[in-house]
Each structure stands twice: as C-alpha cells, then as structure tokens.
Structure 1
Amino acid sequence: MRRGSPAPSRPLKKLAGAASVGIAAVFTVGELAHALVRKEDQVGTRVCGFDLVLDVPKSDSVMASLLPEGAEAEYRDLVHEAARDAVAQYDRWIAYLVGGQDGEMVRLSTGGLLAWATE
C-alpha cells in the first residue's frame, strides 16, 4: 500500500503484527495519530450496478408492421438511434467513479458502459 492511501487502522495494525513489523516502523507518529482520530470513519466500498431496459411498446411494433414497404427499416433505424442516444446520455450521467483522499471526493470518468441490443 502506498503512503497516503486511505486505509482502516485496525487491519493495518493486524497486518503489521502478522509481518512481525511494528506499525511505528511503517508510519510516522503524525500518520498514526491521524489514523486513530479517523478510525471510526466509514469509507463506502460498494460497487453499484445499474440495469437499463429500453423496450418498444407493442403498439409501436404493430405500427412498424403496418408501414409501407421499405419504411420499416427506416423506422427500425430511428428506434436504434434513439436507443444509442439514450445509452450515451446514461453514460454521461452514471458511468463514473468517485475517488479521493483525506475526505476530498473527486468524480473520475470511466471507459463507458457495457450495452447490447436484442430484437
């Protein structure tokens, strides 16, 4: 673990003891004091997931079947474009990480969402 990383003090003490290293040999007095003051602080480690279902109502699929020949493909392309736009917007809204140190939270971008479409 790199110096300055947020970590709970109790597991660090156990780890140092298991390695037969005194915790004072690893951390300065100031770092230990800081850890002890904040030992009850909670750090969220949950990884939240989101499911997004985009579904065309049955009335739209009936309408698509009643379109003139050739128009169904254009209609289907419009529905797929709308789905791509919606997923791109959700990517901007929810595909990010929150990181930080010493209580300062920072929003970090990710590589995007995983999405697929079936018909």
Structure 2
Amino acid sequence: NPLGLYDMHGNVWEWVLDQFVPPEKKAPKELQVNPLVLPNTLYPRTVKGGSWDDPVESHRSASRMGSEGWWKEQDPQLPKSVWYHTDALFVGFRVVCPREVPKLEDIEKYWPSEIEIKAIPTR
C-alpha cells in the first residue's frame, strides 16, 4: 500500500488500542477523523482484520471484533497473564515503527500509562 505495508489481511486478527464498541452503539452521525475509544476495562478490547480461520469477507481492516476472557482459559499461569491468549490462535499483532520518534506528549496521548492500570484487575 502507499505506506509500505504488505500482507495486511487474513493472517490473524490484530490488536488495536481501542476499547471495543459494538457497531450499533458507535455509529457516528458525522464523519470522525480519529474515532479512537480509549479503553477503561479489560474486556472487550478490539481486534481487527480477520484471520486464517474466518471467511474471506472478514479479511478487511473494517472488520472488528471484541476480545473475550475465554481466549486465555488454558493459560497455566496464576494469576493469568495479561498477554498470553492460549485459546486465541487467531489473534496476533503487527509491529510498526514510525519513521521519526514521536514526541513524548504524543506518545502519552495515545498510550497513557494509567490506561493499563485501570484496565488490569488488581492481583
């Protein structure tokens, strides 16, 4: 694509920062430039793009799905890992690196440290 990204669809659903909001609740009245919904709960978070285990119609960036607790049901760790989704072989992530390092305030705008603390249950 014009950004130099390849093989964008169909391997695994990819994690994105957004809290998952069902489409029927999110439909904006007008076009949004950056429709980010910062997460404040552990579930559901958003994965997008479809996977090898889905019909081809799901292989597009507009396909979104909310995460579920059963995705880590077989995690042997106690307490269960925040990142180890043993039962979700259809979920992964894409490593992306900006050409220029963003300013710290821009990083904090999209990934403030308190998001993790609010969303992860106290152990």
Higher-Rg structure is 1
Q: Which structure is richer in relative contact order (CA contacts within 8 A, separation 6 or more)?
A: 2
Answer whether TM exceeds 0.5 for this pair: no
TM-score (norm 2): 0.21
